[in-house]
Amino acid sequence: MSTPDQVGQTSGECIFVLDFGAQYLQLIIRKVQEQGVRAESRPADISVEELLPEKPSGLILSGGPASVYGEDAPTMDRRVLETGIPVLGICYGHQLMAHLLGGKVEPGERREYGFTEIEVVEPDLLLEGVNSPSQTWMSHGDRVEAVPPGFQVLATSGYTPVAVMGDSERKLFGVQFHPEVRHTICGPTVLRNFIRKACGCVSSWQPADFVEESVAEIRAQVGEGRVLCGLSGGVDSSVVAALLVQAIPEQVTCMFIDHGLMRKNEPEEVKEFFGELLGKRFVAVDASEAFLSKLEGVVDPEEKRRIIGETFIRTFEAEACKIGEFHYLAQGTIYPDVIESGGGQTAKIKSHHNVGGLPEDMDYELVEPLRRLFKDQVRELGRQLGLPVALTERQPFPGPGLAVRVIGGLTREKLAQVREADHIFREELARADLDQSISQFFAAIADIRSVGVMGDDRSYVHPIILRAVVTEDFMTADWARIPQEVLARVANRIVNEVKDINRVLYDITSKPPGTVEWE
Ligand code: XMP
């Protein structure tokens, strides 16, 4: 199993990814590692003097949110491009390379966002084996208008005259699209060509064993300290609990707090499963009243998250005092949570409080063994730890639970409606045998009302929104093509079985520009 940015057994070959503030930095590292070559991140402004002694096999310049003409645009030591080390620029990295080497970068008249077909002009070494046209995924405003001296245009797209450029002599390449994203069909081929053909890497690198490494890291961090583990019953926190039980069985207590925002029957299932698995190391607390009374009427999603994060910690503190003294709080923060909370540049990931709306004045130090992993890696880890498939394959459920699926002002009535509708949706997808192939699906209740009619009665109530997505890493997602007859059955049951719902909507937006959740 490959873990991002991890130093495993060395073959000597290593690709450095220079970080220009990319959201997808860890994903790039991971995709390189999946090609069997070690990858690590380095700051964008690393100098030639710092770089050369490390002898990287190749460099990837990441994307980033800036424009090369922006005032504080990150740049790089231009001499790095003259060292003979092969370089692949991605998105911003592609534009920066063109800019620094004498090409022409123009501010875009509009943004090119999402799926884009490229036409291969010159297969060359980088695009060998890539079909033309080929579907890619782009997200940029500026574009390269003219290549620098010595470069060739290797591919174009409708909007971008230089979608891919290259100088095979000097082994310098740039791609406007994101090869690391799943929706770029030729992404793995392009990365493989760069790594194997341009950089000449031959290793088949395997990262170190993650279970062993995490167990060692946890022991080193907590020493003799006692650890309280927040257990929600989801994949992430369950895997953390299993890791802790392996690492420090005598020092850990897992606490499940029922915030009253879980799906139908879930609190009961969690208590039954973990009560059996963890025995005296498992404590369940029903705090639903405390949460709901604070959340009633709250509209702003971030405020909901803040309240829930804070109430969680306060409940933990109060309950933990009853069972003893703890120094650490373990939680299942994973990599996408970290970057979506604004911890983008790996080098600067910090301030745990940014994640999950935690308050700043906590009494605990955090233990977050999964913060460098993507969801599918966490599942793989769960399997390695021997957790049952029903648990490792469970779809994600957000920490703030149904609170962020009651769009706008939260009421107990809307909570009950969304819970029931969600249950029907889940039941019907399982019956249609679709529940394993769709990555995440749920119901939300909208903050608008519409007129409806049933029998002779006019209604003026809220609609239910159904959301179902297919994704590999939850950073990009496509909406699930659920057969119409299944949707019809779900909608019919919801309007008939859930009180005061007169309409059902199906969300057909991808991420981006949408997110998976509505709030
Ligand atoms: P978005 O909506 O950001 O969701 O596209 C991506 C994944 O993250 C989950 N999600 C959350 N999980 N706390 C969580 O623990 C949150 O505040 C939160 N918001 C979204 C979402 O369900 C999806 O799996």
Residues 364, 485 within the same domain: no
For 251, the token pair is 């020092």
CATH code, domain carrying 445: 3.30.300.10
106 CA distance to ligand 1 centroid (A)?
Answer: 35
Q: Which residue is associated with the tokens 């730890």?
A: 385
Residue nearest atom 7 of ligand 1, based on CA coordinates: 474
Instruction: Determine, yes or no, domain membership for 419.
Output: yes
Whether 178 is in the pocket of ligand 1, judged by its Cβ within 6 Å, is no
Q: Which residue, by CA, sits nearest to atom 11 of ligand 1? A: 398
Dihedral (CA of 397, 264, 439, 246) sign: positive
Atom of ligand 1 nearest to the CA of 305: 17
Q: From the CB of 187, is ligand 1 less than 6 Å away?
A: no
Indicate whether 255 and 322 sit together in one domain. Answer: yes
Say if CB 259 and CB 393 are below 8 A apart: no
Q: Whose CA is nearest to atom 21 of ligand 1?
A: 398
CB of 234 sitting under 6 A from ligand 1: no
What tens-digit pLDDT sequence spans the chain (519 residues)?
444 444 334 458 999 999 998 878 888 998 998 899 989 889 999 999 999 999 999 999 999 988 898 888 999 999 999 999 999 999 999 999 999 999 999 987 777 788 899 999 999 899 999 999 999 999 888 999 999 999 999 999 988 899 999 999 999 999 999 999 988 999 999 999 999 999 999 988 776 677 888 899 999 999 999 999 989 888 999 999 999 999 999 999 999 999 999 999 999 988 988 888 888 899 999 999 999 999 999 999 999 999 998 998 889 888 988 988 889 989 898 887 776 555 443 332 223 333 344 555 667 899 999 987 888 889 889 988 888 887 888 888 998 999 999 999 999 999 999 999 999 999 999 999 999 899 999 999 999 999 999 888 899 999 999 999 999 878 889 999 999 999 999 999 999 999 999 999 999 999 989 999 999
**Does residue 4 belong to any structural domain of this protein?**
no
Q: Is 332 in the pocket of ligand 1 (CB under 6 A)?
A: no
Question: Is 8 inside any structural domain?
Answer: no
Residue 252 lies in a domain: yes
- Looking at the fold, whether 350 and 218 belong to one and the same domain comes out as yes
Residue nearest atom 14 in ligand 1 by C-alpha distance:
398
Q: Do 111 and 227 belong to one domain?
A: no
In a domain? residue 294: yes
User: Which among 306, 472, 474 is the best mutation to test ligand 1's pocket, defined by most ligand atoms within 8 Å of the CB?
Assistant: 474
Residue 133, burial from CB neighbour count under 10 angstroms (0-12, 13-18, 19+) = middle
Is ligand 1 within 6 A of the CB of residue 122? no
Q: Please report the beta strands in 20-163, taking only residues with DSSP state E, as ranges in sequence order.
A: 38-43, 58-61, 87-90, 104-106, 112-120, 134-140, 143-146, 152-157
Most distant CA pair in the chain, distance: 81
Q: Is 398 in the pocket of ligand 1 (CB under 6 A)?
A: yes
Is 365 inside a domain boundary?
Answer: yes
Structural domain count of the chain? 3
For ligand 1, the distance from its centroid to the CA atom of residue 471, given in whole angstroms, is: 13
Residue 399 lies in a domain: no
Identify the residue whose tokens are 């950089």.
199
511 close to ligand 1 (CB < 6 Angstrom)? yes
Domain boundary among the residues 174, 198, 222 is at 198
Contact (CB, 8 A) for 142 and 103: no
Q: Which of 332, 367, 392 is the last residue of a domain?
A: 392
Contact yes or no for 142/66 (Cβ under 8 A): no
Say if CB 39 and CB 6 are below 8 A apart.
Answer: no
Same domain, 167 and 28: yes
Within this chain, do residues 388 and 289 fall inside the same structural domain, yes or no? Answer: yes
Of 153, 179, 198, the one marking the end of a domain is: 198
Q: What is the pLDDT of residue 354?
A: 33
Q: What is the residue with the minimal CA distance to atom 18 of ligand 1? A: 398
Residue 408: count other Cβ atoms within 10 Å of its Cβ. 17
- 518, part of any domain: no
**Cα gap 67→429, rounded to integer Å:** 44
For ligand 1, atom 24: residue with the closest CA: 396
In terms of domains, do 187 and 227 share one?
no
- In this structure, the number of other CB atoms found within 10 A of the CB of residue 66 comes to 18
Q: Ligand 1: distance of its center to the CA of 519 in Å?
A: 9
Whether 259 is in the pocket of ligand 1, judged by its Cβ within 6 Å, is no
Q: Ligand 1 within 6 A of 399 CB? A: yes
Asked whether residue 269 falls in the same domain as residue 381, the answer is: yes
518 CA: nearest ligand 1 atom: 2
Which of ligand 1's atoms lies nearest the C-alpha of 515?
5
CATH code for the domain of 118? 3.40.50.880
Q: What's the CATH number where 351 sits?
A: 3.40.50.620
Range of the domain at 431: 406-506
CA 490 / ligand 1 centre spacing (Å): 24
Any ligand 1 atom below 6 A from CB of 463: no
Domain match, 155 and 104 both: yes
Kindly state whether residues 174 and 223 are assigned to the same domain.
Answer: no
Measured in residues, the chain has a length of 519
Which of 261, 341, 407, 517 has most ligand 1 atoms within 8 Å of CB, for mutation?
Answer: 517
Q: What is the 3-state secondary structure (H, E, C) of 297-341?
A: CCCCHHHHHHHHHHHHHHHHHHHHHHHCCCCEEECCCCHHHHHHC
Catalytic residues: 91, 178, 180
331 and 440 fall within a common domain: no
Q: Among candidates 396, 439, 506, 443, which has minimal Cα distance to 182?
A: 439
In a shared domain, residues 334 and 429:
no
DSSP tag of 196 = I
